[in-house]
Structure 1
Amino acid sequence: MEDKTEEKKVISIEDRIPKLKEERKKKANRRLIFYLTIFFILIACVVYLQSPYSNVKEITVTGNDVVPIEEIKELSGIDDETNIWMLQKRIAKKDIEGHPLIESMTIKRSLPQTVKITVTEFNIIGYTEEKGKYYPVLVDGSVLKDYPMSYRGDRPFILNFDEQAYMEMIATQLNELPEHVLRLISEVSWEPTKNNKNKILLYMNDGFIVDATLRDFSDKMKNYPSIIAQLDPKEKGIVHMGVGIYFEKIKKK
């Protein structure tokens, strides 16, 4: 009986040897396929990264109103030879935000070959004029003397504000106006007197003049459209917005 049992064990092991060899062969094949797949993927990545298909094909810029798109693209340092995976985002951000009219920016990849730049500009509240050149005035009263630009007609000229403290005050007041009222102003001039250093004159696009006080004129100017609606547009004059509001017709000479 023992001889027969041992014989069966020998036969059983001999039967399993081919199966074990087959399983090992399959494992070896699977391992080879895995390594070959990784190898070809790496080769494909290298070829892709060295090909024009990994370069930036399009740069989109949004959020800008004043700064030209081409100027922002140039500041980014990105062109059609830039690899989309090698973007120098920090450098681009630093250079673009270094522009005097740009407050902040973001930059994102949009595969396969697009870079999206979004900027937020500082708000221009008016312009000053010097020797035929126009300089933007920001909401904090700073004048960008290093960035002359063409007059766009959507903001007033700010004239005679020779003291920075008063320039900051007028910038703050203008910034508090509704957009539709701000666009009605052609010029605002500081006209201080001995008794009233806050006196200003506003020359409106509709031909009227507004005599106001610097400190609170934004609150009163919000009512300008409704005030003018009650006047005869053919009779030009001065709208006084001091203690009270009244209209003074300009006498024709």
Structure 2
Amino acid sequence: MEKGKVVVLEERVPKLKEQRRQRANRLLIVYIALFFMLLLAVIYAQSPLSNVAVIHVEGNRHIASQDVIQLSGVTKKTSFWKVKKDEVEQRIQQHPEVKEVSVKKRIPNRIDIVIVERKRIAYILDKHSFLPILENGKVLTDVKRAIPSDAPILIGWKEGEAIQDMAAQLAHTPSSILNLISEIHYTPSPSDRRHITVYMNDGIEVSATIDRFAEKIVHYPSIVSQLQPGIKGVLHLEMSTYFKPYEADEGNEKDENER
């Protein structure tokens, strides 16, 4: 029996050696493959192939894409793997018109920047240019050639508490209502130092006060819908709400002249 066992072991030794050799060869191949993969990764990281190829900006309306890219600090010479999203977002967030920003890295070398701008709620006439007023009340004084096509124009206003309060009211006014407003004039009177005169795009004049303006102006569409078509006049939104046609004013003037 012992001699039989020795014979069996002697027959298995070459097979065990072959298995060990094959296992060692496989491990060697794995190590070599890993080495070359690491080497290629290092070469790729150090070569221009790893640089950012595409910088895409979306969501911006008033801010130029190039300005966003410049603020980001990312260029076509920046390594894709060295772009830190948090740092890029912080740099872009410094722009006064940026409300929110999100940066996404897309392999192999694309950077997506998604912008949410602060709403422009009005434009203030300053000499011969229009300065945008943001929803947080900030006036942008360094904007060139701003075109007031998406918000009303403030005329006769000066920097101070009144304009900040008006900005706060407009910030709470729906965009659908803001689009109906053409101009807002600051027209204080002895009885109301916060009186304003609002000119609507449909030709109707609104007499109101700064306080609770957002709360009252939202009813404008429903009030106007009850008026006779084509009639123009002044809609009073002060203490009480009523409409006074222009024709009635002219008739009263004639009656007073006859007297």
Q: TM-score, normalised by structure 2?
A: 0.85
CA contact (8 A) 2:233 2:243 kept: no
For the residue of structure 2 that corresponds to 1:85, the secondary structure is helix
User: Is 2:230 the counterpart of 1:246?
Assistant: no
**Identity fraction in percent:** 35
- CA distances 1:110-145 after superposition (whole Å, capped 9, x unpaired): 122221111121121111121322221122322122
- CA distances 1:51-107 after superposition (whole Å, capped 9, x unpaired): 444222222222222112221122112222222211133332122100010022111
Q: Which residue of structure 2 lines up, in the alignment, with residue 8 of structure 1?
A: 4
CA contact (8 A) 1:141 1:168 kept: yes
CA contact (8 A) 2:136 2:171 kept: no
For the residue of structure 2 that corresponds to 1:239, the secondary structure is strand
- Offset at 1:6? 4.4
- Aligned counterpart for 1:49 among listed residues 41, 45, 49: 45
Q: Which residue of structure 1 lines up, in the alignment, with residue 108 of structure 2?
A: 112
Alignment of 1:33-48 (within 5 A): 33-48=29-44
Alignment of 1:102-251 (within 5 A): 102-162=98-158, 164-231=160-227, 234-242=230-238, 243-249=240-246, 251=250
- Aligned counterpart for 1:89 among listed residues 85, 97, 108: 85
- What is the CA–CA distance in structure 1 between the aligned matches of 2:148 and 2:78, rounded to whole Å? 35
User: Is 2:15 the counterpart of 1:19?
Assistant: yes
For the residue of structure 1 that corresponds to 2:121, the secondary structure is strand
Q: TM-score, normalised by structure 1?
A: 0.87
- Offset at 1:179? 1.7
> Residues 152 and 57 (structure 1 numbering): CA distance in 2 closer, same or farther, change over 3 Å?
farther
Paired amino acid for 1:92: V
Gaps of 5+ in 1: none
Count of aligned residue pairs for this structure pair: 249
CA contact (8 A) 2:132 2:146 kept: no
Q: Which residue of structure 1 lines up, in the alignment, with residue 76 of structure 2?
A: 80
CA contact (8 A) 1:56 1:80 kept: yes
* RMSD (Å) for aligned C-alpha atoms: 2.4
